[in-house]
Structure 1
Amino acid sequence: MGTEQIRRWQSGALAHGVTDPFGQGPLPWLRGAEQYLDDEGNVVPWYVDLSVSRGEAPARPHVPGPRTADDVRCQVKGFASAGAVAPGAAIDFRVTVDPPQQFTVDIYRIGHYGGDGACHMTASPRLSGIVQSAPLAAGRTVSCHHWWQSWRLQVPGYWKTGAYVAVLTTADGYRSHIPFTVRDERPPAPRRYPTKEPPHAPALDADLLLLMPDVTWQAYNLYPEDGRTGASLYHAWDAEGRLLGEEEAPATVSFDRPYAGAGLPLHVGHAYDFIRWAERYGYDLAYADARDLHAGRVDPSRYRGLVFPGHDEYWSVPMRRAAEAARDGGTSLVFLSANSMYWQVELGPSPAGEPDRLLTCRKRRGDARGRSALWRDLGEPEQLLLGVQYAGRVPEPAPLVVRNADHWLWEATGAAEGDEIEGLVAGEADRYFPRTALPESTERILLAHSPYEDTEGRRRHQETSLYRAPSGAYVFASGTFAWSPALDRPHYVDPRIQRATANLLDRICKHD
């Protein structure tokens, strides 16, 4: 297979063995923008320029017909020095541009913004782009840690915590993306007495902390998708340009590299769907990423709930211990996708000594005792925290069948017992495993029991779970990839799921 034949879909959802029926191209969170065609004739929207929508002069030059950069020619590709940055701190971008020419970096914050889906925050000056050195490979582990810094963004102290995207655009109209998070790192709020909370309770930073699944994003990243050197935890290329499977994939991948294709991770839209909906309805949100949870930068006691809004499959031991401590301390957990906490991973430093820049998962290669890296094979099934666990792929979307419709989660949704919510079981599914231990709880209920056919045509079922821990914390697991898209994605929105999610978050966030 020649490099000119490499297409984006070959390392997308199909190649990763994960069905993603919700793909909307590289910019899934925008609304009502003018549309253009990329190099393969696919429709992609351009970014909303909010100054134009207000009737003002354009805030930046408009490049007609932007085209998506690829990993064969690498017209413009880049990555950030960190997955998350605190307000007032700096984040560096390392970018390669071929052929060398000027480029700009526009920074957007993801949110509702009247339906636009993103807000333009700032832009770089015109920067001189260079062709960076080829990626380094140690075995099949690919890294660009040796690239020169191209631009430093000093994040203003007043910027809101949130999910951000840096948009790279070259003078000749090619474009790529770098996602990052501005994390919550505020000092504790001053205490005011008298207060309804007991004196020992910590001051809250926000009701809910969203944790962006950057560890899982990197596990799926096949950069460079060039038919030669790119590799993820799922795939690599052989000498003839054929895509190899998991047995030939590396056990270690690096965060020091761009994301393949348009520069956005696989399934990134699932997190953005929840963000748009939650910010539209005014939930009190803070943000961090999975590596913040791993590194101990998250204090769960400062939030009423931790929300895992997207596909979150790869967890380190410190991540799991932090989530368990959160639940046991009274902080609720909300898992809005399926196949969460499936593989156990390790995070290590880069060759330059930067912490948490290498991701290692030995998968089914076996440890010293011959066990795979599955949490359930290591003696800690994910059901012990989630209440359900991964059951398998869903090749074709199926209805979610409502169960226990008199429960408060389904209140005012209009859903009755046995009602089918079309297409809500999709991608992957979780269920309750009766021979697997359950977490300690004071209440436990299954809120959906949905039949579907697996990849071999066998009848399976999906389940949505909710339980209450002895601490009072709720733990919710949707058990399907389709829950977040039903909140705000065009053609997938379902008012019943919107209301059920609001019922859950309102119960978690209530101020006694």
Structure 2
Amino acid sequence: MDVVGYSDPICVSPGDKVSLMISSADPEVQVSLVRLRQGDGRPAEPVAGSLDGVYRAGPQPLRRGSYVRVPHDPRLDLGAAFSVVLWAQPTLVGADERALIGKQDGSGMGWSLSMTEDGRVRFTVTGENGADRVETSRRLREGDWHCLIATFDGPGEEISVTVLPVRPWTVASQSVISENAETAARATVTRPAPTQAPLLIAGALARDDSGEHVGSAFNGKLAAPRLFGRALTRAERTAERDRTELSAPPVPAAAWDFAGVIGTRNVLETTGNAPHGRTVQLPTRGVTGPRWDGHGNPAEDPGRYDAIHFHDDDLDDAGWNPTVEWTVDTGLPSGVYAAHVRGSRAGEDYIPIVVRPPRDRATAPVLLVAPLFSWLAYGNVRALEQYGGKGDAPSRYVLDHGLNSTYDTHTDGSGVCYSSWRRPLLNLRPGFHLPILESPHQLSADLLLVDWLHHHGHEVDIVTDADLHHEGAALLDRYQVVLSGTHAEYWSAQMLDALETYQNSGGRYMYLSGNGLYWVTGLDEEEGHTIEVRRQGAAVSAWHCAPGEGHLSTTGEPGGLWRWRGRAPQHYVGVGFSACWSTTPKATGAPYVRGPGSHDPRASWIFEGVSTDEPIGDFPNQVLSYGAAGYEVDRADPSLGTPPHALILATATEFPADHWMPATEELTNPNLRADMVFFETPSGGAVFSTGSITWCSALSYDNYANNVSTITKNVLSRFLSPDPFNPPPTP
């Protein structure tokens, strides 16, 4: 793309500062503020303000690949004799040489342990009088743990590399290291050249036309890196693989513990003789190490989780320089905005910014919680992009740069569990259409609800999941009515707690989503811009965690569905995920048919203006082409928490069987249906749930004159009334 960018943070209040990171093929860009109220491609609304202007710009590269950086310290300059010990489990061999550990500058001075393009282990020591190098004759086996030991004993002595598989094969292999292997040669170099370079694990310094950067990213797990100030004996090397206590002799000169503080980016040095390290681009932590035996979890048994899984396509923070530092105009109304960026010669982009109300008060009676965690989970989703085969610039950018969502897998096949807003998110744009359906999705679908609210003159404040996560029920309590987005799938424990507290204190909640409150989601509290998801257990899932790796590194809690944590969506909104379209372009939704609950005096007001026998949403919409119940739908279930006094108002069941399937967790109870539900909550509150992602995409049909719009308007109007809701007497 000629112009592309991202904002940090993505949600701000008037008076806050937001940075716009922009990469442009042109030396200047024109930036202006627009308000987003429609997700169907109609023009955005220009907003005059202090952001408008021309700014200096230029191209900014994306540097993918995770690693650990330990800052330079003179104590890390090894002498004429030393040893390096590292455990390695490669998950992808090929392409080119990949770094394991080293302290080497961009010109190659220093030392390094690496894996060649065909999987052999290479140890290189480069000094002022030349370079020594040894490498194994056979390769590491993907998916197996190996203890790697490199020793250097000075000129005239030995340089060696030893590989000890954790599980030697019973049958020898000519190509793969299947038993203990050692390669040695006579050293000629006096010592590795001292350098100001950092010590890097899973990456190496490189230089190109853009300057010095870290490359050669390793794919796989590494564990227990240690440095010794002498060459280990052969007996000591053999003992390394079987060591159960890392503090036992011989004592290292430096060692780093990958099991400690895994909820942060810190990597602790344990001897006190060298600096601590930091992970870069967020490799996966809380993963099983070489001593894992099928038991424990990272919190209870960290010694079995002393590994980090690195990937060459990890990208947590693009690290671009700010093109614009903008202080949000005082008095700017809450809403969804975008920085409209245009190159001086070519290219444009819309970078979304959610402007929330001032942090100490509400400015409207209605609150829309934009599902930021779901936006991030789907951010740059290649799994669905590739179905469409579209050749537009955003799709090409995502594919060409290997950008990932939590629905994708890394280049080594492992699941992507982190997603950050500090990078371009090309499907988080006002006009984005999911290629397989040619329809709005996530942000662009949520704007259909914003459009409807604006059309009917409702004043509304907008915040995001991150705000709800941090501020809890105190944020919701300022509002008479709270609305969900259209696909509010990813929730943290703090968000669920806040919703439940709000409901129990008289709040009114309109759940206008399907497949909501589904995945356990963590927020990286250290930096605050990254979510985490661990996919495990019965669920509709794009991938599954490796055995033993189902706990979130950011929070320590078990991942998977909230349903399997005893917090099913039915407990909060009366309905939970039931079925979904089977990712085929021909799939359509279905209308709802009213049931006896719609005629109960407690809820009959919801259907004022709607005929008794009138199908609800029996017309085209902007997502999945037809039917107010569609894409992904939810059903009531008392066994999962639907309140006993909840009324099922209407149900949709006529989904095309060839293009729909029950949710995986529903296979023992395949009720392929969508339920519309209403129930009262304590202190005069109430909940209305549609149980369908496509509900909001039907709101504008026939110029907003349709029964989906009528029902939504009836509910919102009644929820805004101060009159309390009274639950029926307990039988």
Call closer, same or farther: CA 1:120–1:362 in 2, change over 3 Å.
same
* Mapped partners of 1:106, 1:342: distance in 2: 37
**What residue number does 1:411 align with?**
607
Q: Does 1:498 align with 2:716?
A: no
Identity in percent: 22
Query: Does the Cα contact within 8 Å between 1:413 and 1:495 map onto a contact in 2?
Result: no
Q: Which amino acid aligns with 2:45?
A: C
What aligned pairs does 1:9-28 form with structure 2 within 5 A after superposition?
Answer: none
**What residue number does 2:590 align with?**
398
1:322 maps to which of 489, 498, 505? 498
2:27 maps to which of 101, 104, 112? 101
**For the pair shown, which has the larger CA radius of gyration, 1 or 2?**
2
**What residue number does 1:381 align with?**
568
**What residue number does 2:463 align with?**
288
Instruction: Spell out, residue by residue over 1:205-260, the C-alpha distance to the aligned partner (whole angstroms, 9 max, x if none).
Output: 43111111111011011276124521111014648xxxxxxx73311122211112
Deviation, structure 1 residue 319: 1.0
Q: Which amino acid aligns with 1:235?
A: D
Query: Does the Cα contact within 8 Å between 1:453 and 1:460 map onto a contact in 2?
Result: no
Q: Which amino acid aligns with 1:208?
A: V
Mark the runs of 5 or more structure 1 residues left unpaired by the alignment.
Answer: 1-73, 189-203, 240-246
**What residue number does 2:617 align with?**
421
Deviation, structure 1 residue 371: 6.1
Q: Does 1:258 align with 2:424?
A: yes
What aligned pairs does 1:146-295 form with structure 2 within 5 A after superposition?
Answer: 146-185=319-358, 187-188=360-361, 205-222=363-380, 225-227=398-400, 229-236=402-409, 238=411, 248-260=414-426, 263-264=429-430, 266-295=441-470
Q: Indicate the RMSD between aligned Cα atoms, in angstroms.
A: 2.7
What aligned pairs does 1:465-480 form with structure 2 within 5 A after superposition?
Answer: 465-480=677-692
Aligned partner of residue 592 in structure 2, secondary structure? strand
Deviation, structure 1 residue 393: 0.5
Deviation, structure 1 residue 154: 1.8
Deviation, structure 1 residue 310: 2.1
**What residue number does 1:445 align with?**
647
Call closer, same or farther: CA 1:410–1:226 in 2, change over 3 Å.
same
Deviation, structure 1 residue 415: 2.9
Instruction: Spell out, residue by residue over 1:332-390, the C-alpha distance to the aligned partner (whole angstroms, 9 max, x if none).
Output: 111111011100111115xxx53x21111111126369965100011211111010101
Aligned partner of residue 630 in structure 2, secondary structure? strand
* Mapped partners of 1:149, 1:466: distance in 2: 47
**What residue number does 2:61 align with?**
133
Moved more, 318-327 or 445-454: 445-454
* Mapped partners of 1:180, 1:295: distance in 2: 18
Query: Does the Cα contact within 8 Å between 2:616 and 2:708 map onto a contact in 1?
Result: no
* Mapped partners of 1:390, 1:418: distance in 2: 25
Query: Does the Cα contact within 8 Å between 2:26 and 2:343 map onto a contact in 1?
Result: no
Q: Which amino acid aligns with 1:426?
A: G
* Mapped partners of 1:261, 1:438: distance in 2: 34
Aligned partner of residue 270 in structure 1, secondary structure? helix
Moved more, 326-335 or 171-180: 171-180
Q: Which amino acid aligns with 2:424?
A: P
Deviation, structure 1 residue 325: 1.0
Aligned partner of residue 503 in structure 1, secondary structure? helix
* Mapped partners of 1:256, 1:116: distance in 2: 27
Q: Which amino acid aligns with 1:75?
A: D
Deviation, structure 1 residue 118: 3.8
Q: Does 1:360 align with 2:532?
A: yes
Call closer, same or farther: CA 1:125–1:473 in 2, change over 3 Å.
same
* Mapped partners of 1:456, 1:486: distance in 2: 20
Query: Does the Cα contact within 8 Å between 1:388 and 1:431 map onto a contact in 2?
Result: yes
Query: Does the Cα contact within 8 Å between 1:92 and 1:153 map onto a contact in 2?
Result: yes
1:432 maps to which of 623, 632, 636? 636
Q: TM-score, normalised by structure 1?
A: 0.73
The number of aligned residues is 407
Q: TM-score, normalised by structure 2?
A: 0.52
Mark the runs of 5 or more structure 2 residues left unpaired by the alignment.
Answer: 67-310, 382-396, 433-440, 537-544, 582-586, 619-626, 663-670, 724-731
Deviation, structure 1 residue 263: 4.1
**What residue number does 2:523 align with?**
347
* Mapped partners of 1:382, 1:420: distance in 2: 23
What aligned pairs does 1:77-116 form with structure 2 within 5 A after superposition?
Answer: 77-97=4-24, 99-111=25-37
Call closer, same or farther: CA 1:94–1:370 in 2, change over 3 Å.
closer
* Mapped partners of 1:282, 1:100: distance in 2: 41
